[in-house]
């Protein structure tokens, strides 16, 4: 609550706005974690500037046959510099998470995510649990109410932090079997999509 009040003071009375028409550039400042080794993550803004996509190519958590003990958990921490035109600010309105899962009977899995602007005291979190048997695509939508949306402070450069995590637990699944969850994709079919909403900053 305190963080939201501080941000409201930094960006008072901002009015809803259409997305900018100029091309928005996103710089990946850092990408750290076992789910996003160097060169395996791509970030891009949609042509109409209404959504940002994050695509992973080696984001797989797995257990069982052929898996190392540490592979049950995979995570990625992205720090993004979104070059927003002067006079505008944005917030994440909703997120579409997608991937594929193969879980043997008795195995379970977990997807967790958070996103926040640098300097915020609180984060927006979402999560989803899975249970075997499963062998299918998975999808999770995190929809934020208008009152929950946190905008980047006006007139201040704050990077967007995105943290994601996958976990798979073998449970009482049969020995010799393997289970996994993935957010990776070679054809962008499983890109994570961050839908944005825009506002005009008040004149100074």
Tell me the whole-structure pTM to 2 decimals: 0.85
Q: What is the mean pLDDT of residues 81-106?
A: 94
pLDDT band at 10 (very low <50, low <70, confident <90, very high): very low
CA distances from residue 114 to 95, 101, 168 in whole angstroms, order as listed: 10, 21, 19
Q: Taking a C-beta distance cutoff of 8 angstroms, is the pair 52, 42 a contact?
A: no
Q: What is the mean pLDDT of residues 116-142?
A: 87
Alpha helices, DSSP H only, in the chain? 2-10
- For residue 23, the 8-state DSSP code is P
CA–CA dist 114, 183 (Å, integer) = 15
CA–CA dist 74, 90 (Å, integer) = 29
Q: Are strands 178-182 and 60-64 parallel, antiparallel or unpaired?
A: antiparallel
Confidence check: pLDDT of 4 > 50? no
Tokens standing for residue 72: 């049950």
pLDDT band at 187 (very low <50, low <70, confident <90, very high): low
Confidence check: pLDDT of 36 > 80? yes
Q: Taking a C-beta distance cutoff of 8 angstroms, is the pair 160, 68 a contact?
A: no
Q: Taking a C-beta distance cutoff of 8 angstroms, is the pair 93, 49 a contact?
A: no
């Amino acid at each position: 609550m305190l963080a939201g009040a501080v941000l409201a003071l930094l960006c008072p009375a901002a009015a809803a706005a259409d997305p900018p028409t100029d091309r928005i550039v996103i710089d990946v400042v850092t990408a750290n974690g076992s789910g996003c080794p160097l060169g395996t993550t791509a970030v891009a803004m949609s042509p109409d500037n209404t959504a940002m996509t994050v695509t992973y190519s080696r984001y797989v958590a797995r257990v069982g046959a052929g898996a190392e003990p540490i592979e049950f958990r995979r995570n990625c921490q992205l720090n993004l510099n979104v070059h927003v035109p002067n006079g505008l600010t944005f917030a994440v309105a909703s997120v579409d998470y997608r991937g594929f899962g193969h879980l043997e009977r008795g195995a379970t899995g977990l997807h967790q995510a958070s996103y926040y602007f640098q300097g915020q005291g609180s984060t927006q979190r979402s999560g989803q649990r899975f249970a075997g048997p499963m062998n299918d695509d998975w999808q999770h939508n995190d929809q934020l109410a208008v009152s929950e949306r946190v905008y980047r402070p006006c007139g201040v450069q704050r990077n967007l932090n995105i943290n994601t995590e996958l976990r798979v637990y073998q449970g009482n699944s049969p020995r010799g079997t393997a289970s996994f969850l993935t957010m990776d994709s070679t054809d962008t079919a499983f890109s994570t999509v961050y839908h944005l909403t825009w506002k005009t900053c008040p004149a100074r």
